[in-house]
Amino acid sequence: MPSIANENNERMSLRVPATAKAKLLRAAALRNTDLTSFVTQSALREAEAVIEEAETIRVSRRDHLRILELLENPPKPNAKLRAAIVGLPDAL
């Protein structure tokens, strides 16, 4: 899993080309908000989409039904699983 930078301040500086800043300012004005709010809200929407995509597992209907079947009727432990269980700490 990627590491997350931990910054203790609330300020963030960005360097963008003048044309990009002008476009952002225009879009913010069209939304009747300031640049900071516009950029923050846009970035947060994108961040939420990226996080959801990374944390969501999508399976086909067939696989979904197979998973449910295995949860309701798990197979008997085989030799490898029994060996792995023996190696677990007692605290579990």
Is position 11 within any domain? no
User: pLDDT digits over 52-89, tens only?
Assistant: 999 999 999 999 999 999 999 999 999 999 999 888 88
Question: Is position 39 within any domain?
Answer: yes
State how many domains the chain has.
Answer: 1
Please state, in angstroms and rounded to a whole number, the distance separating the CA atoms of residues 12 and 30: 23
Phi/psi at 28 (5° precision): -60, -45
- Residue 11's SS3 state is coil
Give the structural domain span for 76: 18-87
Residue 9 in domain: no
* pLDDT class of 12 with cuts at 50, 70, 90: confident
| Domain presence at residue 12 | no
Q: What is the DSSP string of 14-68?
A: ----HHHHHHHHHHHHHTTS-HHHHHHHHHHHHHHHHHHHHH-----HHHHHHHH
